[in-house]
Amino acid sequence: MCTILYYGGSQFSAAQVQEHLLAAPHRGPDGARVLDTGLGWLGFARLAIMGLEESGMQPFVQNDCMAVCNGEIYGFRRLKEELSQRGYRFLSGSDCEVLLPLYQEYGLEMFRHLDAEFACVIVDPKHNRVIAARDPIGIRPLYYGYSSDGMISFASEPQNLLGLVETILPFPPGCYYCNGTFHTYDDLSQTDRFIHEDETAVTAQIHDLLTKAVLKRLDSDAPLGFLLSGGLDSSLVCAIAAKHSTTPIRTFAIGMEHDAIDLKYAAQTAAYLGTAHTEIIITREDVLSHLDEVIRALATYDITTIRASMGMYLLCKAIHHQTDLKVLLTGEVSDELFGYKYTDFAPDAASFYAESQKRVRELHAYDVLRADRCLAANSLEARVPFGDLDFARYVMSIDPYQKMNHHQKGKYLLRKAFENDHLLPDEILWREKAAFSDAVGHSLVDDLKQYAEETYTDEEFAKLCLKYDYAAPFTKESLLYREIFERHYPGQAGMIPGFWMPNQSWEGCRVNDPSARVLSNYGASGQ
C-alpha cells in the first residue's frame, strides 16, 4: 500500500510537503520522492510489490506528464505488450507504468480500460490539467480537500492531509477529477438490466468469475499470504488459491484467548487445504492497549468498523513482524454483493437490491476502509477477489429475488457455485455466517463495551454527547470511539457517512447495535 500525495497550493515547500507525505510512513517504507510539476507538488512513498527494482519508483514521467498511483493494474503485461507495439517504451516491471501511455492513448477515457484496484494522480502541464481517479469500489483509498487559498490536494490517507486542507473528504469511487469537476466513469452499484437465468447458469458464472478473480491476484513479485477467518468468504479465496498453487499457501487466523469461534473453523479449513497455517492469540489487554492506535490508523469512529478491525489489525501487525509477506488476499465485499444476516429481513426484491446498492456505494467507508487501513498500517497490501470488477458487476446484475434467502441459508448461490468442487468441507461451505468481530471472540466486543462503561458515568455520557451534531454518539462505546477520533482528526467527522447499522426501517432490524449477534435470526451463527 503506497502513499500518493498531490499538493496544489503554494503555502508549503517541498520539504514540508514531504513531511505530509511521510505522515503515514507505514504505507511507503521502501522509498519516498517529491516532484515539482509546475502545477503543484507530486509525492510518492513506495511499498514495492511489482517491479521491485529502482526503475519502478514513482512518480513516472513521460512526454512532460507525471503520474503517481497506489494500486494493482491487473492484466498489465498484456497492456504493456499492446502499448509497446504502438511505440511506447517501458523501463520497469511496475504495473503502474502503463498509466501514462494509457493517458496518451485514451485521455480521460483511460479509466474505463482499467481492470484495477487503484488511486492515482496525473499532472499534465502541457494541457494545464490535474487529474485524479479512484477504482469503482474504492478498494484503494483516496481523500481530497481544499486549502485556505482554494487549491485542491489529494492523498492516500487523512493523516497526509491534516494541516494541508481545511476539510478532508473521501474521493468518490468510480470517479475521476479534472480541473475542478468530478465525473463518474463507472458506477458499480447501478445495473442497467437484471440477468434472468436459472440457478445452474448463475452459479456457473459465479464459480468461474470468482476463480479468475483469485488467480489474477496471485501475480506478485513480493511474498504473498492469506487471511483465513474460517468463514465462507475467506475460506473460498484460500481454497481456490490452494488448488492452483504448486506449494502450500500461507494462511493466518486470529482469536481471543477465550471463545474464539473462528479459530477452530480456520484450523479445520487449513488442515483440509494443507496450508502453512499460523494462529495468533490475543487478550483483553492487547485489544484495549491498541484501541487508540487502531482508531488513528482507521480514521473512523464507526462502531462495527472499529470492532472488526481490532483482530484484523493485530493479526496484520503479527504478520508484519513475524514474516516476510507484503501481500495478503482477503474476503471482503462478499456481504455487500450477496447479503448480510440482516438482509434476510428485506421485505421484497426491490428493497434487497436498493440495500445492496447502498452498501456497495459505501464500501469505501466501512469494510474496504478496514481492510486497507489494517493492512497498510502494517506495511501490507490487501487484494480483494470479491471486489473484482467483472465478478462484482455480474453479481450485482443477478435478479435480486434470486439472491434473497429463500433456502434458509445466506449466500446460497455462492455456496451452491462451489458445491461440486469439494474445495472445502461441507461444514465450512455451508457454515452459518458469524458476525465478523464476534467471531474473533465474543469477549472482544464485550471487553470494549465494558471499558466504555468504565470510562464514563451516565452524567458524563449525556453531557459529552451534546458536543456532537453530526453522527452523534448513542452509546458509551460510540462516544469512546468518537472522542479518540476527534483527538486525531478534530472536526473531520464528515469523512464517514455515519454509523454502519442494519436497515432500521425493516421489521426485525430495529436494533441499537450493529452486530448481527443482536438479530433474531442469528441462530447458530455464533457457535
Run of H or E residues at 520: none
Whether 491 and 471 have beta carbons less than 8 Å apart is answered as: no
Distance of alpha carbon 425 from alpha carbon 522, whole angstroms: 22
Q: Verify whether residue 69 is a known catalytic residue.
A: no
**Residue 29 identity (one-letter amino acid):** P
Run of H or E residues at 434: none
Mean pLDDT lowest among 24-33, 86-95, 379-388, 478-487:
24-33
| Other Cβ atoms within 10 Å of 458 Cβ, number | 9
* DSSP output for 446-474: HHHHHHHHHH--HHHHHHHHTT-STT---
User: What is the distance in angstroms between the CA of the first residue and the CA of the last residue of the chain?
Assistant: 35
| Pair type for strands 175-178 and 224-227 | unpaired
Of 527 and 381, more confident: 381
Whether 7 and 40 have beta carbons less than 8 Å apart is answered as: yes
Walk across the sheet containing 224-227 and list its strands. 276-282, 250-256, 224-227, 327-329, 381-383
What percent of the chain is predicted at pLDDT more than 90? 81
* CB-based burial label for 423 (10 Å; 0-12, 13-18, 19+): buried
Choosing from 2, 69, 120, 175, which is the catalytic residue? 2
How many CA within 13 A on the CB side of residue 464? 20
In 3-state terms, what secondary structure has residue 86?
A: coil
Domains plus CATH for the chain? 3-184 (3.60.20.10), 199-341+361-402+442-506 (3.40.50.620)
pLDDT, tens digit, for every residue of 458-472? Answer: 999 999 999 999 999
pLDDT, tens digit, for every residue of 490-508? Answer: 999 999 999 999 999 999 9
Rounded to the nearest 10°, the torsion over CA 498, 499, 505, 510 is: -160
| Other Cβ atoms within 10 Å of 344 Cβ, number | 18
Q: Which of 368, 373, 294 is nearest to 3 (CA)?
A: 373
pLDDT, tens digit, for every residue of 221-279? Answer: 888 999 999 999 999 999 999 999 999 999 999 999 887 888 999 999 999 999 999 99
Global confidence as pTM? 0.95
456 confidence band (pLDDT: 50, 70, 90)? very high
**Residue 291 identity (one-letter amino acid):** L
pLDDT, tens digit, for every residue of 319-360? Answer: 999 999 999 999 999 999 999 999 999 999 999 999 999 999
